[in-house]
């Protein structure tokens, strides 16, 4: 397993991370989740990502139970704060009150004294950004976190956080967790410039587009898949045109004697500004397959062929991505 530095910082992560979104504490039985995590350790994965909102805290509990059999310092553990866990008026957002109370609960569920990364899961338009920056630095000073980060923030929001921290003599976010995969490449434009300028690490979520890039939808939609049950995929990422392109890309993976899953992850890792994509797994065999991608290095000719087939040069951030924020402002989230 290759280990990569977190941007300009010293901590090293396995080039493949494992995450608990949509799996641990919910759709996947705890015993199977532990088997997946055990296989991750066996494969050299040291980065585990969860969030308080994942299965309403149950995902953190599963990982916490797992960690009791291992040395804590062998892992890079991250969680997140923002979304409401209850109907209480202050149980949401990035206020100092919510941040300080949320991390206490996350640490208890994870059975650890500290987090390596603590992510602001979304941007909070109700709380002054300076309050959030000061709150995160308070956690740093208290030794409760090693770094703080952001997930799904826009470039201008990240820049403001860094400038506020700089003006206060504090520490800005060290790591970004955006959505990034072969079908969704928008971060290659503005966000990457922000990340590079501030020396941040990048740990993308949904690197396999929730299964589309594994090829499991190439011959139709399986009855037990996420798309047919609890998490319908967007039409822009699951349509006849995309499937036709992926069938072509899969031929390239066969030439390389690897799977489409591994090719898709190796394509992400071909970008040296990426630290570690976070991949979900509901079976130990999936962990083994995913981890192998960490040792695959694609040559430039192969990368060019993949991108020529996909024909989806990154575009500027589409307006529809602000829908979730609008729902939050309207009290729908």
Per residue in 193-209, pLDDT tens?
A: 999 999 999 999 999 99
Residues in a beta bridge with 45: none
User: What would the two tokens of residue 281 be?
Assistant: 């797994």
What are the helix (H) ranges across the chain? Answer: 30-42, 58-67, 96-110, 129-141, 155-168, 190-198, 240-255, 260-269, 284-292, 300-310, 323-329
What share of the chain has pLDDT > 90, as a percent?
81
d(CA 25, CA 62): 6
d(CA 207, CA 263): 11
Side-chain half-sphere CA neighbours of 80 within 13 A: 29
Examine residue 237 and state whether it is found in any structural domain, yes or no.
no
Q: Label residue 228 exposed, middle or buried (CB < 10 Å: 0-12, 13-18, 19+).
A: middle
Examine residue 249 and state whether it is found in any structural domain, yes or no.
no
User: In terms of Cα–Cα distance, which of 35, 151, 60, 148 is closest to 112?
Assistant: 60
Please give the pLDDT value at position 190: 82
* Rounded mean pLDDT, 301-312: 96
Catalytic residue among 24, 54, 123, 147: 54
Count of Cβ atoms closer than 10 Å to residue 186 Cβ:
17
Examine residue 8 and state whether it is found in any structural domain, yes or no.
yes
What share of the chain has pLDDT > 70, as a percent?
89
d(CA 324, CA 40): 32
Three-state secondary structure call for residue 281: coil
Split at pLDDT 50, 70, 90, the class of 318 is low
Examine residue 247 and state whether it is found in any structural domain, yes or no.
no
Summarised one tens digit per residue, pLDDT across range 258-299 is 999 999 999 999 999 999 999 999 999 999 999 999 999 999
**CATH number, residue 266:** 3.20.20.100
**pLDDT higher than 80, residue 332:** no
Q: What is the pTM of this model?
A: 0.90
Q: Is 118 a catalytic residue?
A: no
Examine residue 218 and state whether it is found in any structural domain, yes or no.
no
User: What does DSSP assign to residue 188?
Assistant: G
Residues of the domain holding 56? 3-210+262-298
What's the domain count of the chain? 1
Summarised one tens digit per residue, pLDDT across range 67-87 is 999 999 999 999 999 999 999
Residues ≥6 apart with Cβ < 8 Å to 285: none
Split at pLDDT 50, 70, 90, the class of 17 is very high
Examine residue 216 and state whether it is found in any structural domain, yes or no.
no
Least-confidence region, from 36-45, 182-191, 254-263: 182-191
Examine residue 145 and state whether it is found in any structural domain, yes or no.
yes
User: What would the two tokens of residue 30 be?
Assistant: 């705890």
Please give the pLDDT value at position 329: 43
Examine residue 323 and state whether it is found in any structural domain, yes or no.
no
């Amino acid at each position: 397993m290759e280990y990569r530095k977190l941007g300009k910082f010293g901590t090293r992560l396995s080039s493949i991370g494992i995450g608990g979104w949509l799996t641990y504490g919910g759709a996947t039985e705890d015993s199977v989740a532990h088997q997946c995590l055990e296989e991750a350790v066996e494969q050299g994965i040291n980065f585990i990502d969860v969030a308080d909102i994942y299965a309403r805290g149950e995902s953190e509990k599963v990982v916490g139970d797992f960690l009791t059999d291992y040395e804590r310092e062998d892992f890079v553990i991250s969680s997140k704060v923002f979304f409401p866990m209850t109907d209480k008026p202050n149980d949401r957002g990035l206020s100092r009150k919510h941040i300080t109370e949320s991390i206490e609960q996350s640490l208890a569920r994870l059975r650890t004294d500290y987090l390596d990364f603590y992510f602001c899961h979304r941007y909070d338009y109700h709380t002054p950004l300076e309050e959030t920056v000061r709150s995160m630095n308070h956690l740093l000073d208290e030794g409760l976190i090693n770094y703080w980060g952001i997930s799904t923030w826009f470039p201008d929001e990240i820049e403001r956080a860094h400038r506020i921290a700089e003006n206060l003599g504090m520490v800005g976010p060290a790591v970004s967790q955006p959505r990034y995969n072969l079908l969704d490449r928008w971060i290659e434009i503005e966000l990457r410039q922000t990340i590079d300028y501030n020396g941040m690490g990048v740990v993308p979520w949904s690197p396999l587009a929730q299964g589309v890039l594994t090829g499991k939808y190439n011959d139709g939609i399986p009855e037990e898949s996420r798309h047919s049950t609890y998490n319908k995929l967007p039409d822009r990422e699951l349509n006849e045109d995309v499937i036709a392109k992926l069938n072509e890309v899969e031929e390239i993976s066969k030439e390389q004697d690897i799977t489409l899953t591994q090719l898709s992850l190796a394509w992400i890792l071909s970008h040296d500004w990426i630290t570690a994509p976070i991949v979900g797994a509901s079976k130990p065999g999936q962990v083994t397959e995913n981890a192998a991608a960490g040792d695959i290095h694609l040559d430039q000719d192969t990368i060019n062929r993949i991108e020529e087939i996909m024909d989806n040069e990154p575009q500027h951030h589409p307006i529809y991505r602000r829908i979730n924020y609008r729902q939050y402002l309207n009290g729908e989230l």
